[in-house]
Amino acid sequence: MQQTDSLSTPLTQLSPDEALFRDSVYEFADREIRPLVREMDEHAKIPPHLLASLFDLGVMAVEIPEAHGGAGATFFHSVLAVEALSRVDPSIGVLVDVQNTLVINAVMRWASEAQKAAHLPKLASGTIGAYALSEAGSGSDAFAMATRGVERGDGFILNGRKLWITNGNEAGLFIVFANVNPEAGYRGITAFLVERGFPGFTVGKKEDKLGIRASSTCELLLEDCHVPRGNVLGEVGKGYKVAIETLNEGRIGIGAQMVGLAQGALDATIKYTKERKQFGKAIADFQSVQFQIARAATEVEAARLMVYNAARLRDAGSPFLKEAAMCKIFSSEVAEHVSSLAVNLFGGYGFVKDYPVEKFFRDAKIGQIYEGTSNLQLQTIAKQILG
């Protein structure tokens, strides 16, 4: 198989259809998103017309069956879309990632047929989803959550506060986790499908962040929020299982985001080093620069292989817990290293907003924090290896 495509990105185990899909998403991002990147970063907002274009493109409903209005493709295609978008703007990459690998993934796996019929067509046509697990006192220790659910009448009353919720500002559907039986510990945790208009549910403060600024990160307030019994996702008391299994797949999506980010930073750096002249020649002609770029390209390719492998395993129904943790931690470290190198090789220009690499550098840091910190990934990997 040919080793480079029309975009000078390794094909890395892609079929022609997969390569075409990834290229088409990247071409869309290059044409429609790139001109908006700086404005979105400065204003910390995604314009509504771009959100509509993402739905029209089909990347907001990759795995949803065609019968429900989706593309009917695979988890691997979701990963390819996230990678391609993140190569231009990781903020858009994570928007699409949460929609597909967390929200739609959870609904596809755990929802009843009635719930699927009610929500999947909306998620395919214009409704953005969010995944509400984290709280002020339960970040890495996610199951120490304080949000409570009390059974009442034909449903549950939820009270609590969620933090760091990606897509919170745009979402119309939220998967919210609450403990309905605290005495049972994590076995009381239950997942609920909460719609934006439910009484007692409010989207609160939007965080002012270091990176991925266009992606909204919000708090959610639940004050006697009534959720009908029919909106329980899965079974009462099985929310921990929904959370764990969905997050394992979500980590592959974050790996794809970080690979795309690293590739975007590397693309910009290669172009710049060919144009920037010092001592009478392009800095790309200096061996020290060549070696740094070669090592960075090797790291990006290794991270890409790890992400693709984890996604392939997931689609094949094979165990992938260790591989998901490995690809997430490695790709986030590669993204930070490659984007830092990009700033260095751009010199003074790398430190100003007129050039793209300072944003990639800011965006990269979150990769080692959300969807499970690097220490948690190491813990997971160690448990899998050591038994």
Which of the following CATH numbers is that of domain 241-386: 1.20.140.10, 3.40.640.10, 3.40.50.970, 2.60.120.260? 1.20.140.10
Give the CA-trace dihedral at 231, 180, 136, 221, to 10 degrees. 50
Instruction: Give the model's pLDDT for residue 250.
Output: 97
CATH 3.40.50.2300 fits 130-238, yes or no: no
**Would you state the pLDDT for residue 377?**
97
Q: Thinking of the domain 16-127, which architecture would CATH place it in?
A: Orthogonal Bundle (1.10)
Residue range(s) of every CATH 1.20.140.10 domain in the chain: 241-386
pLDDT, one tens digit for every residue, the chain (387 residues): 333 344 444 445 799 999 999 999 999 999 999 999 999 999 999 999 999 999 999 999 999 999 999 999 999 999 999 999 999 999 999 999 999 999 999 999 999 999 999 999 999 999 999 999 999 988 778 778 999 999 999 999 999 999 999 999 999 999 999 999 999 999 999 999 999 999 999 999 999 999 999 999 999 999 999 999 999 999 999 999 999 999 999 999 999 999 999 999 999 999 999 999 999 999 999 999 999 999 999 999 999 999 999 999 999 999 999 999 999 999 999 999 999 999 999 999 999 999 999 999 999 999 999 999 999 999 999 999 998
Q: Which ranges in the chain are annotated with CATH 1.10.540.10?
A: 16-127
Contacts of residues 272-278 at CB distance under 8 Å and 24 or more positions apart, as own/partner, are 272/345, 272/346, 272/349, 272/355, 273/345, 276/347
Structure token digits, residue 118:
């009610």
Q: Are 176 and 222 a contacting pair, CB within 8 Å?
A: yes
* Active-site annotation holds for 371: yes
Cβ(144)–Cβ(152) under 8 Å? no
Give span(s): CATH 2.40.110.10, the chain. Answer: 130-238
Active-site annotation holder among 83, 323, 358, 371: 371
DSSP-assigned beta bridge partners for residue 161: 221
